[in-house]
Amino acid sequence: MLDFVISNIRIAGRDRPLDIGIKDGRIAALDADLVSDGPHEDMCGCFAFGGFVDSHIHLDKACILDRCRICEGTLDEAVRETARAKAAFTVEDVHARARRVVESAIVNGTTAMRTFVEIDPRAGFRSFEAILEIKRSYRWAIDIQICAFAQEGLTNEPATAAMLDQALGEGADLIGGCPYTDPDPQTHIRWIFDLAERHGVDVDFHLDFDLDPANSAIPMVIAETRRRGYSGRVSIGHATKLSAMPKEAASDIAARLADAGIAVTVLPATDMFLLGRDRDYLVPRGIAPALLLAAHGVTVTAATNNVLNPFTPYGDASLGRMANFFANAAQLSRDDDIATAFDMVTRNAARLMRRPHGLDLGAPADIIVLDAADPLSAIREVRQPVAGWKGGRKTFTRPRARLLYPEG
Ligand SMILES: [Zn+2]
């Protein structure tokens, strides 16, 4: 009856290795010692899960170090340099760079991602067109959500609002705003929510991206989320101001975010690269206190954000590596906290994107196998993926490194 069996895998919450039976692209059986005449693939007791989920990445402006200068390493410089570069983006250029990152994400075990795509008078619809094609052509391996994104303001450039409106009618899945680059952040936030309501889509803000605890935009986003009945449909990225507040103040905001149903994404690679540039010693880490947020019931995720550009001149779209980087920077040590770091790049990120996740009976057979015994060793040791399936079809293999001992 089964099409094939992935045998001898470990999954979270089960003590003994199991077999997964696949039928018509779905998980049809999950048991020890499954009996089936179909093909078997022995996974040697490795850990399997539903795949990494990247809740925040910018495919359109990845891999542009060849055309940008980084002198200061500040946020202002990154926005400025990228704005200059994107005026010259072509559809083919964006497609080629995005493809490189998506293929790296796939072999690093990512099965879903949310990408921001800048749509404004400089980018036109060229990046959007390229990323729509990437979404379509890689559907066999990864589900991509497209967030139409106003990186450079709205009230200062109202043409952008009309372009975002058009993109939401032509295949964008949700809308993203960036109040800190707008001269009128409050109106920016309202306009983004207006567009979201008009199209019935979710909202994702880049927010509070500095280390000054004053003038947070979070209260405004909470108020608009409540006023419009948008609980569970709003997320914010960076929120690094929270890292500059005393614990009591951050806890107060955490409780209000949880109550409003607003998710928070930390972007450790970017936050640590761009912030604290005014300091030449004891440079702050500048990462929002994700564990504190999680303790108050906020859905927290960690994500890639940028790859090889002035916002983050590093990266390989590996979320196992990013979770390890986050855990190290956030000084996590307890097993429970490392488990939270794993959740931040898997099921929490899936919840933020409002998609199912997990190896459940009847679920699509989206399965990633890591060369690890469990999620803790996966994060602590940055264990590599060895194979992946999407809808029951094998999407990649990644053979283990093999030592060539001398004779004897
Ligand atoms: Zn971002």
Q: How would you write the chain as a 3-class SS string? A: CCCEEEEEEECCCCCCCEEEEEECCEEEEEECCCCCCCCEEEEEEEEEECCEEEEEECCCCCCCHHHCCCCCCCHHHHHHHHHHHHCCCCHHHHHHHHHHHHHHHHHCCEEEEEEEEECECCCECHHHHHHHHHHHHCCCCCEEEEEEECCCCCCCCCHHHHHHHHHHHCCCCEEEECHHHCCCHHHHHHHHHHHHHHHCCEEEEEECCCCCCCCCCHHHHHHHHHHCCCCCCEEEEECHHHHHCCHHHHHHHHHHHHHHCEEEEECHHHHHHHCCCCCCCCCCCCCCCHHHHHHCCCCEEECCECCCECCECCCCCCHHHHHHHHHHHCCCCCHHHHHHHHHHCCHHHHHHCCCCCCCCCCCECCEEEECCCCHHHHHHHCCCEEEEEECCEEEEECCCCCCCCCCC
* Contact assessment for residue 91 and residue 122, using Cβ atoms and an 8 Å cutoff: no
Cα 32 to ligand 1 centre (Å):
43
What's the whole-number mean pLDDT along residues 47-57? 98
Cα 160 to ligand 1 centre (Å):
18
Residue 324: which pLDDT band, with cuts at 50, 70 and 90? very high
Cα 53 to ligand 1 centre (Å):
15
Cα 117 to ligand 1 centre (Å):
10
Residue 13: which pLDDT band, with cuts at 50, 70 and 90? confident
Look up residue 97 and give its two tokens: 């760079």
Cα 240 to ligand 1 centre (Å):
13
Cα 357 to ligand 1 centre (Å):
23
What's the whole-number mean pLDDT along residues 288-303? 98
The pTM for the full model equals: 0.97
Q: What is the pLDDT of residues 224-271, one digit of tens each?
A: 999 999 999 999 999 999 999 999 999 999 999 999 999 999 999 999
| pLDDT value of position 35 | 86
Backbone angles phi, psi at 36, to 5 degrees: -155, 145
Cα 266 to ligand 1 centre (Å):
10
Dihedral sign for Cα 39, 43, 48, 51, please.
negative
| pLDDT value of position 11 | 95
Residue 298: which pLDDT band, with cuts at 50, 70 and 90? very high
Cα 57 to ligand 1 centre (Å):
6
Domains of the chain: 4-50+358-397 (2.30.40.10), 52-352 (3.20.20.140)
Cα 113 to ligand 1 centre (Å):
13
Cα 178 to ligand 1 centre (Å):
9
Residue 382: which pLDDT band, with cuts at 50, 70 and 90? very high
Cα 58 to ligand 1 centre (Å):
6
Lowest mean pLDDT among 48-62, 68-82, 341-355: 68-82
Cα 159 to ligand 1 centre (Å):
21
pLDDT at 408 over 80: no
| pLDDT value of position 33 | 87
Cα 235 to ligand 1 centre (Å):
12
Between CA 103 and CA 317 the distance in angstroms is 9
Q: What is the pLDDT of residues 187-230, one digit of tens each?
A: 999 999 999 999 999 999 999 999 999 999 999 999 999 999 99
| pLDDT value of position 253 | 98
